[in-house]
Chains A and B, each alone.
Chain A
Amino acid sequence: MPQIEVNNVGYAYRLGEGQTVRALRGVSFTVERGEYIALVGMNGSGKSTLAKLLNGLYVPSAGDVLIDGVNTRDEERTFDIRRKVGMVFQNPDNQMVATIIEDDVAFGPENVGVPREEIVERVNEALEAVGMTQFRTRSASKLSGGQKQRVAIAGVLAMRPDIIVFDESTSMLDPEGRREILAVARKLNDGGITVITITHNMDEAAQADRIIALRKGRIVADGTPKEVFASAAVAECGLMLPPAAETARLLAERGFSFPDAVTTEDELVEGICSQSK
């Protein structure tokens, strides 16, 4: 059984009397345990809506979302699903509940009634995993954006999730903060947690094992970064290829031939060197 099963899902927002906007239509895909997936698309492509469908914040208008076989429509199981699927949001300031960092990390476990001793243990563990232990008794307002997002990740980790969804969690950060968060995401994925990151930064998407591209609420590409970058899907979505891939594409137009699809700088260098021989 796949860990996440999205079956022919549609979602419509109500705008007012009789008016609706269909954010997603006929979206289907499955995710296996331990995958690292980037969900890409322009603003309004439905990617954030899709993220909120994965942990039952939204319930699909059509189709089903199953997490470990449990339907997100099942209200009895909503909290089980949210415990399993953690979510890190875009704005670091708007997802922190408590003033003191350790109190914020403890918020999730407190909500689901974890015994006190275990909360302390989980908070220690979670802060350790994101490298924020020395800040635990500080006020969150004095941290940098990247540090705040690390605290938000710790808050999710304290729930001991199987899946973490990053909903454009790096888009408000400076390059340094972005690197910090990507490093943490990679480390968590290596530890067996499924990572789904929503982004319109293609460099970031290139680091995933698999890219799902959305356009106007439909999936237009689903494959490895190499496959997706080689197809026309990225341009179709109105997104930019990562610089290395874009360079390779332009060179290819002018008669270069690359044996493999290019996604990283190293591959580009290798490809160009192989030409001159």
Chain B
Amino acid sequence: MFKDISFGQYYPADSVIHRLDPRIKMLLTVLFIVGIFFVDSYFGFMVTAALLLVVILLAKLPMMSVLKSVRAIIFIVIFAAVINLFFIKSGEVLWSWKSLQITDNGVHTTIKITLRLILLICGASLLPLTTTPVAIADGTESLLKPLKYIKVPVHDIAMIMSIALRFIPTLFEETNKIIAAQKARGASFDTGGLIARAKAMLPVLIPLFVNSFRRADELAFAMDARCYNATENRTKMKVMKIDWADVVAFFVMAAYFAGVLVERYAFTGIMDGLIFGGLV
């Protein structure tokens, strides 16, 4: 009926990118997001787009799956573009009507903001597209490990995350069953105003909650029966380890990040001047 959402956006494929360590992928994603805010030249955006294209091809992802995530933020992009286009007053005026005016600086900023947002979302979506939520949870546990020293219960948090992921499809299925049962008794979920609809959800939420507690109770017994104890001498079947591909990926991203900073602060505008001449 609905997609198994415990797999989220995950696009299964056998690729170098899919096989990268989830911790590395998370770090690289953060680095990329920070990096792209320093990009401020058309040349920089071209390099970023080329880098993304190479990663998408390596990951064997269909272009559409990446562009889909852009669709989700299209209104934010349009909003940001319109605001910048009309409200930047500096530079040469290209067009004006009453109090509205468009300047050349405004046009450049608008194009750059749009590019930045789109590339940002495309880049960030590569993580969930190539990594299962389970791997992301494992990676988070490993990355948070240092917090153990300040008594943060890292293992417990990770266990809670993975159990939550495990039960999402189960609870979804149950919600649908309860809705069907209430409909059979004449409940209506799609008539009336917002408040009426919210009220109609109450007879769905209460049984769902009660059942969740019962499930939690049974799950606790099942975990106890299988010797669960959150102690140190637990072992793991799947051990994450840094591979050569992870090292290479890290250096590629580090080079990109350094390049972005150098281009912005040491060669401000020079690359754009060389490529686009008088245009920009």
Contacts and interface: CB of A to CB of B under 8 A. Distances in A.
B236 interface: yes
Nearest to A120: B237
B243 interface: no
Interface in B208-237: 215, 218-219, 221-229, 233-237
The bracket for how many chain B residues form the interface is 20 to 34
Contact of A110 (B132, B166, B219, B235): B235
A99 B225 contact: no
A242 interface: no
Contacts of B238: 103, 106
A223 to B, nearest CB: 29
Interface in A93-130: 93-100, 102-103, 106-116, 119-120, 123
Interface in B123-178: 132-134, 162-163, 165-166, 169-170, 173
A96 B225 CA distance: 12
B45 interface: no
B237 A96 contact: no
Looking at chain A's contact residues, the main secondary structure is helix
A142 B4 contact: yes
Given A102-B237, A116-B239, A52 B221 contact: yes
B165 A99 contact: yes
A155 interface: yes
Q: Which of B162, B227, B228, B233 has the most CB of A within 10 A?
A: B227
B219 A97 contact: yes
Nearest to B217: A94
A57 interface: yes
Contacts of B215: 91, 93-94
Contact of B237 (A55, A83, A90, A106): A106
A139 B224 contact: no
B6 interface: yes
A159 B225 CA distance: 11
Given A110-B236, A116-B239, A82 B134 contact: no
A172 to B, nearest CB: 12
A113 B235 contact: yes
A120 to B, nearest CB: 6
A60 interface: no
B209 to A, nearest CB: 15
A94 B222 contact: yes
Contacts of B239: 116
Given A82-B225, A141-B6, A99 B166 contact: yes
A93 to B, nearest CB: 5
A211 B44 CA distance: 77
B145 to A, nearest CB: 17
A87 interface: yes
Contacts of B236: 110, 116
Contact of A57 (B6, B170, B225, B234): B225
B7 interface: yes
A90 B225 CA distance: 13
A66 interface: no
Interface string A66-92: 000000000000010011001101110
A156 interface: yes
Contacts of B237: 102-103, 106, 109-110, 116, 119-120, 123
Given A89-B225, A99-B134, 18 more contacts: A79-B227, A82-B225, A82-B227, A86-B225, A90-B218, A91-B215, A91-B218, A96-B166, A97-B219, A97-B228, A100-B134, A108-B226, A111-B226, A113-B235, A115-B235, A116-B239, A141-B173, A159-B226
B134 A156 contact: no
Given A91-B218, A93-B170, A99-B134, A116 B227 contact: no
A78 B235 CA distance: 19
Nearest to A111: B227
A238 B39 CA distance: 78
B188 to A, nearest CB: 29
